[in-house]
Structure 1
């Protein structure tokens, strides 16, 4: 709502003329402004007390950079930001249209067609947001705009900067709205990070609210609501059909039991088609993730393995884009409704595995060809198709071949000796051989050195000073052992080179001063270190 300007409100921020106050939130105030080019924009000004906090400014800058990677077709595009301004501010696209909260308040629960459109639009936005390595953290009806051109999700991309700045987030205060918070958000003692699954829970609560006009865990106070979220099943009375099953899955207490945004989207798109009509939309059963932490440190983020129905495909030569085709003809529907760049290489962190050799390298989902074919041996073990076997790069990405992990910039190879401390060397010996283990949409990087009985996977270890190194860790799929692999270019021998990024801790880099591999919080840091995989035969 446009409230005009109040005494003390800024009239100009950087090059933007402030026109009116649009609203207030826990993180700051939002203003309507005019850009130097005459475009109307929304400017979010963060709380003044954060102006002199260097930790906040650094995280704010990093989160804005990530948010800029989100395709703007279903979100409010991030246009500009100034973390060094007093106070810091963020400029986003101004979207005309009421919020979902306003629509439900004025019109009541939505009809089936409009409800399905809302569910698809928000799931699509979350797929793009998560694909860019961003977690929304405050998804709610007020942050879903029903714009003339379609659904737009706003207010993503800076919540983590607030939440992670401990001196400004008190023990009993967190970013978000209680009614739409996942159970794990209330656990302030474990130190575990909030993962994308928290946004999936919020999606379920948002869709339930749109369908019924109430929150599925609504209580007479914030405390009562939180207790219901933690202990009670959702009240989905009034929500029927395939959408009820999807919402119920999204509202599971265990984050590992919830579908991903991409799985939600597939379930929504197939619900009205043959195989989905007349019954609940079917999502593949989730594969539980081990709760144990890797020895190298880190925390469990509630991230889960690829659903069992897709795991075989992932290991049989399907790249990150190609695994969509394992679900059948629905990939074609997704390709029409979701722009192809949604699964492009810029969104690899946490959402799509690179397939540098096949048709999917252009950014389109593979619907045929080597990446979409696999056979099964009589024992039930997946085997690569002839085309995959003949393509060592694809086979390495599928976990079928051993390789040297070559550090391009220093012309050396990584090695993981039995003592568990990562080294660089000349690539000789079994301690320099690795294999990828696809886990959902990411990878564990595993040494094939037979002398390593424990901690054979690469993992991130944080020391007491916050320095992040790469060490040997137990092979459990946790935030510290899962890595995205993003294609960067070619090395001097023409091999595809990659950056290796851990969603939680940052990018794997080489330190010229310390002469060692470390992990750097992404932020504004350029990716100075790339890796190529040198084929060393079948596993």
Structure 2
């Protein structure tokens, strides 16, 4: 809704002329503005109290760079941001059209065809968002726009910059709307990172709201709603057919029991259901591939790449995970493409998403390398069984070969002795051998030193002064033990070099002054420490 400008509202933000106030939210205010090129855009101005929080600015910058990698066919495209402005702001595509919340409020529960369109459109958007390595964290009816050209999901990814700053964790604040929060989001003491499954839970609640006009866990207060989410089954009265089963699965308490976004699309697009109840359901979220050309997508990404550093590394890795799969077949409807093949290349590459340059662009192994055999168990977990001549790099990235973790800049190798303190050395001892354990799109890095009975995985340790070191940790997938591996280039031996990025704490770096490995949150600063994986045989 256009509320006009109020006293105290800015007339200009950076190069954008502010025209009207569109609304307010937990993160700040949203304005309609005009860009220097005359384009109408939406500008979100964050809360003033965050303006002088340097940790927030760094996270905000990195999250914006990551969100820019989401294909814009079913989301509001991120166009610009200035985390150094006072106050910081974010510029996104302005989308004409009411929100799903407004549609349901004014028209009541949706009919079968329109409901199916909403379900497919939001699931398609989540597939693209998750494929780019982003988690929405605040999916709700108000963030789903019913635009003339299709469903658009807005406000994705940036929530983490707000939620993860020390200012918010100290006060136990969470970003989001309680009615659409997954159970794991209330378990702040566990230290486990919130994953894509939380967005799937929100999808189920959003679709249930669109079908019934109410939230499936609605209570008299936020506390009552949270307790129902944690302890009670959803109330799906009024939602029938195959969609009810999908929504029920999405609302499982256990994140591991929920389908992925791609699996939601598989269910929505199966024969006999995608046409609705005997009719033809218009898929508003489906866009022909011709509207998302490889040339246009690639050019836009290259223009945004401003240097090396954490943001660039994230752009490189997440871009390959997202655009690589979305641009696979230019004549296919995107919803069908995503449901069939979004993650197929990633499986065939043995989860080697960060290292696409070592693999052909079409998702199949090199001609000289027999294809890996990919199978899926009943649980949907892929297993990759490479043939004897499989590419060692690919095998290392799937956890099937041991390696030395070589620090390129100092020509030394990491080791994890039994005392649990990380060291650098010449790579000749058994404590210098590691193996990767894939966890989603990230990895745990595990020592294969037989003398280490506990804490064999690398993890980030934060001391009382805020210094972050890399030490031995128990092999549980937590915010401290999960690392992204993003390709940076080649070392002096021609091997692929990588940066190691812990999403919660920062980039793994070498300190020339302290002569040790540490972890630093860089924002857009250059990464000056890279690693190569030196093959040391099968596990």
**TM-score bin (small chain):** 0.7 to 0.9
Q: Give the corresponding residue for 1:298.
A: none
- Are the equivalent residues in 2 in contact too, given 1:131–1:352 (CA < 8 A)? no
Q: Give the corresponding residue for 1:145.
A: 145
TM-score where L is the length of structure 2: 0.79
Distance apart, 1:344 and its partner CA: 9.1
3-state DSSP of counterpart to 1:404: strand
In the aligned structure 2, how far is the partner of 1:403 from the partner of 1:491? 15
User: Structure 1 residues 222 and 375 mapped into 2: Cα distance closer, same or farther (>3 Å)?
Assistant: closer
**1:443 and 2:437 matched:** no
User: Structure 1 residues 390 and 486 mapped into 2: Cα distance closer, same or farther (>3 Å)?
Assistant: same
The answer for unaligned runs of 5 or more in structure 2 is 279-319, 326-331, 377-382
How many pairs align? Answer: 480
Q: Give the corresponding residue for 1:514.
A: 514
In the aligned structure 2, how far is the partner of 1:186 from the partner of 1:54? 26
Q: Give the corresponding residue for 1:242.
A: 242
**1:336 and 2:337 matched:** yes
Distance apart, 1:208 and its partner CA: 0.9
User: Structure 1 residues 173 and 495 mapped into 2: Cα distance closer, same or farther (>3 Å)?
Assistant: closer
Q: Which runs of structure 2 are paired with 1:105-504 in the superposition (5 Å)? A: 105-167=105-167, 171=171, 173-187=173-187, 193-270=193-270, 336-337=337-338, 352=353, 354=355, 356-359=357-360, 362=361, 364=363, 370-373=370-373, 384-386=385-387, 389-504=389-504
Distance apart, 1:423 and its partner CA: 1.5
Distance apart, 1:453 and its partner CA: 1.9
Q: Give the corresponding residue for 2:292.
A: none
In the aligned structure 1, how far is the partner of 2:427 from the partner of 2:51? 49
3-state DSSP of counterpart to 2:118: helix
TM-score where L is the length of structure 1: 0.79
- Are the equivalent residues in 2 in contact too, given 1:200–1:261 (CA < 8 A)? yes
Q: Give the corresponding residue for 2:291.
A: none
In the aligned structure 1, how far is the partner of 2:248 from the partner of 2:66? 30
Distance apart, 1:272 and its partner CA: 5.0
- Are the equivalent residues in 2 in contact too, given 1:332–1:367 (CA < 8 A)? no
- Cα distance per residue 1:473-497 (max 9 Å; x no partner): 2222333222222223222222222
User: Structure 1 residues 265 and 407 mapped into 2: Cα distance closer, same or farther (>3 Å)?
Assistant: farther
In the aligned structure 1, how far is the partner of 2:176 from the partner of 2:334? 33
In the aligned structure 2, how far is the partner of 1:93 from the partner of 1:153? 11
The ranges of structure 1 where at least 4 consecutive aligned residues each deviate by more than 6 angstroms after the TM superposition are: 331-335, 338-345, 365-369
- Are the equivalent residues in 2 in contact too, given 1:3–1:21 (CA < 8 A)? yes
The answer for unaligned runs of 5 or more in structure 1 is 279-318, 325-330, 377-381
**1:89 and 2:89 matched:** yes
Q: Give the corresponding residue for 1:53.
A: 53
In the aligned structure 2, how far is the partner of 1:79 from the partner of 1:106? 31
Distance apart, 1:100 and its partner CA: 1.2
User: Structure 1 residues 7 and 16 mapped into 2: Cα distance closer, same or farther (>3 Å)?
Assistant: same
- Are the equivalent residues in 1 in contact too, given 2:124–2:335 (CA < 8 A)? no
In the aligned structure 1, how far is the partner of 2:258 from the partner of 2:525? 33
- Are the equivalent residues in 1 in contact too, given 2:262–2:342 (CA < 8 A)? no
User: Structure 1 residues 172 and 501 mapped into 2: Cα distance closer, same or farther (>3 Å)?
Assistant: closer
Q: Give the corresponding residue for 2:286.
A: none
User: Structure 1 residues 356 and 389 mapped into 2: Cα distance closer, same or farther (>3 Å)?
Assistant: farther
User: Structure 1 residues 41 and 170 mapped into 2: Cα distance closer, same or farther (>3 Å)?
Assistant: same
- Are the equivalent residues in 2 in contact too, given 1:402–1:535 (CA < 8 A)? yes
- Cα distance per residue 1:145-199 (max 9 Å; x no partner): 1223322111123322332345467857532222112223334555655433322
